[in-house]
Amino acid sequence: MSANHNVSSLPSIGEPFEQAPPAQRPNRRPRLWPALFILGMLALFLILTISPSINNQTRFGFMMGGPFLGLLLFAIWLWCFSRLPWQARLLILPLTALGAVAAALVMHSSMGVPLWIYGVPLALAAITYGLYRRQQATWRGMVGSAVGLASVVWALLPFGRLEGFTGDYAPELRWRWAASTEGRRSSAAAPQPTAGNQDHPTLAAGPTDWPRFRGPALDSRVTWKTGVTNWTQAPPRELWRNSLGPAWSSWACVAGRLFTQEQQGEHEVVCCLDAATGRLIWQTQIDGRFSDVVAGPGPRSTPTFDDGRLFTLGARAMLLAHDAATGAELWRHDLMQELDAQLPVWGFSGSPIVMGEAVIVYAGGKGDHGLCAWNKQTGEPLWSRAQQGMNFSTAQPVTIDGVEQVLFAAPEGLESLDPATGQLLWSHKPTGWHVPGKCQPQQIAPNSVVVPLGDGVGLARLDVTLAEGNWQVSERWSSKALKPSFNDFVFHAGFLYGFDQNILACISAEDGTKRWKNGRFGFGQLLLLEADDRLIVTSEGGDLILLETNPDRLVELGRVTASPEKTWNHSIVAGQTLYFRNGAEMVAYQLAPAATAVATATGEDSPAAPATPAGTSPETSSPPE
């Protein structure tokens, strides 16, 4: 053995043997960029959801389908490509889901959709941020950080309440314990309908009454003078105001009485009010409640008055006929039970229309029970035509070449039917036709109608003639310059005015070209004061705006705020009074200065006593209870 061998380096007996430290495995950071890409995609979907230039059906698809696609891609990334420790991959999503379940058990019932469309993306963002913060921690640290931050998202949900969405699909979130607009009116002391009461004469519609949805011709047109000039100089005067339950119904107004529908708890209610005061005269109720995530609870359709009777359709397809004077029920049909009508996603929304002896309503039932008619006197079925699928529009009466007919937007195209028999007269599928129908076609000339192509799609003008017993239909133009959603349009002096989604627009009725697009009033509604050359916009935000009927530019002549609540209901005018409502309150306005209103109504040129609503007298006008 070599003397140079260093034996002193060996450990002595009893000393521990020092081993070299093992090679450290490099710490692999999580691969987070795919998660960031998925979150960016979800953010884009949310932006597209609130983009009104896209039609509502597509936006609703982004709103509901986006979180599903994002969650699926996130799970694939987490389990297969994240480079996380296997324990973290297996535990993060199940523990996060348990937090969502716990939140769902204690949150308000309306918050299920916000949990899905907002909670899921926010929770995924919280998980990603938690992993970023603890990317060099142990697997326990990663799981704790990711799940803990996601739990903060779930913990916020029980404090909110969803009361629907705006037309732009922006959520209406409120503090959970804030007072609700629903249920302010109590039905306990409401006058009940009385059958056979001889003290109530049969009601009859006058020349300035508003007997059904969108007025006498279903075109939102006020044909008589109201005396409206300029609201900046002479604003409308509020006559009365009262609370009202949720519904998207409009008004019928006949002989000094207002008719509408509302939701009161678990009951759908039809009510009759004194038009001069807003006081309740009678109301009827049926068991039933419908609510959807966007629009909230309540009926959707508008009562129709005809020959002393009032016809109503509930959101769950209960068709009722009442004595309009007393509220006594004359007959009823439960369309979902009798015709196997399928509940549409937004509820039954079309209003009953009376033509001759027929009450016409879309049921969408099985077999040939699509568009149906019943005898207005007895409620006996008259005819029905097969039409399937959802439809939210109302049958439209027109007279073309002297032939009375009813138009309806079927899946196969616009159909014209004989209102007495239901026989098909003609049909036409315009270019770009989409379903389901939401808005009304409108006759603008003796042989011409303008037809909505679908929700946020556009309009088409059809020329229709009867030659030698055959109907001929040609398409004059198709335009995307005015794309109504669920808000209708009006025609005046060769031009069409309406909402291009959430912006007011004017187009030429001759060729469909745009004249102007201006005025962000949300998804509102429109009234034409034809004899006054004025338009009244009911904005989505609850304002009433007076405009000129000007095809060259938008000219505003003043506005009033009727209500701060979301408003999709059509306002109406009866006599010289405008009646406004939404899902929370109702308001009556005298449109013109008192002297002007009375002079207009009576044909006099001199000042007179203050005007009152149509069909009433000064003695009956008093503040509401």
The pLDDT tens digits of the residues spanning 312-364 come to 999 999 999 999 999 999 999 999 999 999 999 999 999 999 999 999 999 99
Give the mean model confidence (pLDDT) for residues 543-562.
97
Task: Identify whether the C-beta of residue 69 lies closer than 8 Å to the C-beta of residue 61.
Answer: no
Q: Is residue 104 over pLDDT 80?
A: yes
Strands (E), 252-367: 252-254, 257-264, 267-274, 280-287, 291-292, 296-297, 304-306, 309-313, 318-323, 329-334, 353-355, 358-362
Q: What is the mean pLDDT of residues 383-393?
A: 92
Tell me how far apart the alpha carbons of residues 409 and 190 are, in angstroms, rounded to a whole number: 39
- What is the percent of the chain with per-residue pLDDT over 70, rounded to a whole number? 88
User: Would the pLDDT of 198 be above 60?
Assistant: no
Helix (H) or strand (E) segment spanning residue 140: helix 139-156
Band (pLDDT 50/70/90 cuts) for residue 12 is low
* 19 vs 40: CA distance, rounded Å: 50
| pLDDT at position 537 | 98
Tens digits of per-residue pLDDT, 412-445? 999 999 999 999 999 999 999 998 889 999 999 9
The residue assigned the tokens 């794309």 is 483
Residue 27 above 90 pLDDT? no
189 pLDDT exceeds 90?
no
Query: What is the amino acid identity at position 604?
Result: E
Q: How confident is the model at residue 542 (pLDDT cuts 50, 70, 90)?
A: very high
Average pLDDT over residues 129-148: 94
Q: Is 498 exposed, middle or buried (0-12, 13-18, 19+ CB in 10 A)?
A: buried
Which of the four pLDDT bands, split at 50, 70 and 90, describes residue 60?
confident
Contact by Cβ (8 Å): 349, 317? no
pLDDT bucket at 21, cuts 50 / 70 / 90: low
Stretch 284-301: mean pLDDT, rounded?
94
In this predicted structure, the answer to whether residue 625 has a pLDDT above a threshold of 50 is no
> What is the C-alpha radius of gyration for the chain, rounded to an integer number of angstroms?
31
State how far the Cα of 362 lies from the Cα of 609, in Å rounded to an integer: 46
CB 488 within 8 A of CB 571: no
**Rounded mean pLDDT of 528-548?**
97
The DSSP call for residue 542 is S
141: confidence class by pLDDT, cuts 50, 70, 90:
very high
Residue 607: pLDDT band by 50, 70, 90 thresholds? Answer: very low
Q: Which two tokens stand for residue 60?
A: 């609703």
Phi/psi of residue 274, each to 5°? -75, 120
Q: How do residues 233-290 score in pLDDT, each as one tens digit?
A: 999 999 999 999 999 999 999 999 999 999 999 999 999 999 999 999 999 999 999 9
The span from the CA of 53 to the CA of 26, in Å, is 51
pLDDT digits over 560-576, tens only?
Answer: 999 999 999 999 999 99
Q: What is the mean pLDDT of the chain?
A: 89
Q: Report the percentage of the chain scoring pLDDT > 90.
A: 77
Please determine, for residue 5, whether its predicted confidence score (pLDDT) is greater than 90: no
Distances (CA, A) of 520 to 410, 424, 514: 31, 40, 17
**What was the pLDDT predicted at 18?**
53
Q: What is the DSSP string of 433-448?
A: --SS--S--EEEETTE
Q: Measured between alpha carbons, how far is 601 from 227 in angstroms, rounded to an integer?
A: 9
Of 137-141, 222-226, 435-439, 597-601, the poorest mean pLDDT is in 597-601
- Tracing tokens 């804030």 back to the chain, one arrives at 178
Tell me what pLDDT residue 201 has: 73
Q: Cα 540 from chain centroid? A: 10
Q: How confident is the model at residue 1 (pLDDT cuts 50, 70, 90)?
A: very low
Please report the pLDDT score of residue 195 as a whole number: 52
Residue 25: what pLDDT? 46
pLDDT digits (tens, 9 = 90+) for 355-373: 999 999 999 999 999 999 9
